[in-house]
Amino acid sequence: MSFSPLIRQLIDSLRILPGVGQKTAQRMALQLLERDRNGGLRLSQALQAAMEGVGRCRQCRTLSEDELCPICADPRRDAGVLCVVQSPMDVFAVEQTGYRGRYFVLRGNLSPLDGLGPEAIGIPELVDYVTSSSPQEVILATNPTVEGEATAHYIAQLLGAQNVALSRIAHGVPLGGELELVDGGTLAHAFAGRKPLQA
């Protein structure tokens, strides 16, 4: 079946979402057109408002409707601890842990094959931020992937000359996990990052 140009355009637009393939985009488009036109109009209005009204926080670079996001505007946050993450989604994840410091949001991780060098993801801005704000500790919370590890290592080298403690989030066996089900790379990280027990 061949779709009309407007329906095809809607399907192609929905396919830009992560994890949405051709069939899923078709189902979404037809659902909106056949069963929920009001919902589709609300979606388009919300999408337009977000695209026009959401920018980046001038301090931490997370998504924000204001010049300063609520985290950076909160005077109760600990300015002595800075957590470096790869995306705004990581900020939401770390916030669930009870972390009360500040953030710096990169725009991904180093990936020369994809044309993402230090400037593309904001590492020079991170160095400037650390130099101007002088935190006592910088926590490198990039993902435990090859690119995330390379990004953390590169940042650690750049910030090594600064008078700041550098730390890396721990990697290893998940809480409630069983050793026989954990892959070798994860188990190797867990052994490398082991800590002494206090008796």
Q: Is the pLDDT of residue 196 over 80?
A: no
What is the pTM for the complete model shown?
0.83
pLDDT tens digits, 54-77: 999 999 999 999 999 999 999 999
Question: CB–CB of 135/82 below 8 Å?
Answer: yes
Q: Judging by beta carbons within 10 Å of its beta carbon (0-12, 13-18, 19+), is residue 133 exposed, middle or buried?
A: middle
What distance in Å separates the CA atoms of residue 147 and residue 143, rounded to the nearest whole number?
8
Shared-domain flag, residues 48 and 121 = no
As a whole number, mean pLDDT of residues 69-95 equals 95
pLDDT at 198: 67
As a whole number, mean pLDDT of residues 151-159 equals 94
Q: What is the CATH number of the domain that holds 46?
A: 1.10.8.420
pLDDT tens digits, 107-150: 999 988 888 899 999 999 999 999 999 999 999 999 988 899 99
Phi, psi of 98 (to 5 degrees): 95, 5
Shared-domain flag, residues 87 and 151 = yes
Q: Domain span at residue 45?
A: 5-52
Residue 156 belongs to a domain: yes
Residue 159 belongs to a domain: yes
Shared-domain flag, residues 136 and 152 = yes
Residue 178 belongs to a domain: no
Shared-domain flag, residues 37 and 90 = no
Structure token pair of residue 92 = 């939401």
The neighbouring-strand residues paired with 102 are 82
Q: What is the CATH number of the domain that holds 125?
A: 3.40.1360.10
Average pLDDT, the chain: 91
Q: Is the pLDDT of residue 174 over 90?
A: no
Q: Is the pLDDT of residue 172 over 90?
A: no
Please provide the DSSP assignment of 109-172 as one string. --BGGGTB-HHHHTHHHHHHHHHHH--SEEEE---SSHHHHHHHHHHHHHHTTSS-EEEE---S
Shared-domain flag, residues 26 and 85 = no
What distance in Å separates the CA atoms of residue 93 and residue 101, rounded to the nearest whole number?
14
Shared-domain flag, residues 77 and 108 = yes
Q: Is the pLDDT of residue 35 over 70?
A: yes
State how many domains the chain has.
Answer: 2
